[in-house]
Structure 1
Amino acid sequence: MRTLVMSPACGFRKSMRNDTLNVLLGTTILTEETNYSARVLVQEVVIHPNYQQNRYWSWIGRENNLALLKLSDKVNYTKQMSPVCIASSAIDLRVGSFCWITGWGQTKVGDPDESVPLSPILQEAEISIMHNDDCDTLYHDVSEVPSIVRIISSSMLCSDYSRGRDFCYGDDGSPLVCEIDHTWFQVGVVSWTLGCAHLETPGVYSRISEYSKWIEREIAELNSATAILRVSSGIVPSLLLGPLCVVMAL
């Protein structure tokens, strides 16, 4: 399956054909392309229809912050490029579970007038999963959203910064993965937070299991459209049909 899960926070607002975006696979250095890496064009971007940039007339941000990228070519799996499975509602992600986040964001926070570059080398950190109720309480403490209004919904999950690790500026759309029963699952996508790796404001992720049905439906529709094109035009595109997994664009 040649589909990537990402965050639409970069500004997309709807499903659209694409002729400018591409993804770099199989390397941990952004500026490095080797015999093991591959750069693939993005054919189509599908944004979740209920994506919201901000909520409650405040900085509280991003709900349904998820997008799919359909790649233009088949990706051949190697040791450097392998799929990670989508977490479904059947996955038991327990509070306190240890998971891994990877990203290219800032490794430090500078002064307000200081420009801090993103990391050219892929960074990783182990984080633990926080209870949504605790995360919700913390965000009510730092916002003016009424306490009766839920900030952290069931479609989100939060990381516990007590271990001193979390995502930072530039990590938007990065994957959160967990190893469950010897299989790696993508359980989250970096969505939003206040500041950068603060104890009082945990990192908030889109909870993939809440969107697994939508992802399945969109992939089926994309494949159906491609099949109709194949029958009507005689064009046979390269499709890899298999388990619902997502290629991690690392």
Structure 2
Amino acid sequence: MASLAGKTALVTGAGRGIGRAVAERLAADGALVAVNYARDEVAAKETVAAITRRGGRAFPVRAELGVPGDVDTLFAGLDHELGADAPVDVLVHNAGISVHAAIEDVSPEIYDRGFAVNTRAAFFVTQRALSRIPDGGRIITITSGVTRIAFPEAIAYAMTKGALDSFTLALAKHLGARGITVNNVAPGIIDTDVNAGWLRGNAEAWKASAARAALGRVGEPSDVADVVAFLASDDARWVTGTTLDATGGSDL
């Protein structure tokens, strides 16, 4: 796979889980990685430390997404570390929250919060970043397999991710003339802290989750990170406006 040496990547929500795996993989491929986090400074610093121990380069950037002033805070942190208007070659939208509730249990507050973090933030972070992404850059969004597999117990969450599918399709067309590719990666059930409460330590839930995948296991963060790395590389230069399924063949 082509090297990312000399490039800068911004990964939102990179302190733990899929975001951390993505940050570590892009750094291993040579990128300088901005590790965005919302509140867990310890986790973000652990991600940076893990990268530097392997000879990579990274730095933490605190900015809670989905709140007023989030985009300003994020890019002020980038400017502090990189210098004003430094390029962002690879933008990975990973930050998100779970909205695990049936329609009867979704309040307006829960609904609005889900869209603010999962959808609105990605839109306006991209808007701000467009002038800093060079021609030939990459925009990659972590969506979800729930946009094609019915999960009534996560209906509002699926809607937040479905909106990103439309965003990616239109943005890819808009930016195509600049050689910027825009794609999604859709994970299935992944063993992360977000899913720990119902998955880890629950043998029945683990078995049922593994059975959903054609490959017969629960996904790991690295399974998703490796797909992101492909899309970030020059090997994916002819792939844009699409979603790569990283569910292990869930519910085929």
TM-score, length basis structure 2: 0.25
Determine which structure has greater relative contact order: mean sequence separation of CA pairs < 8 Å that are 6+ residues apart, divided by chain length: 1
The structure that is strand-richer by fraction is 1
The structure that is helix-richer by fraction is 2
TM-score, length basis structure 1: 0.25
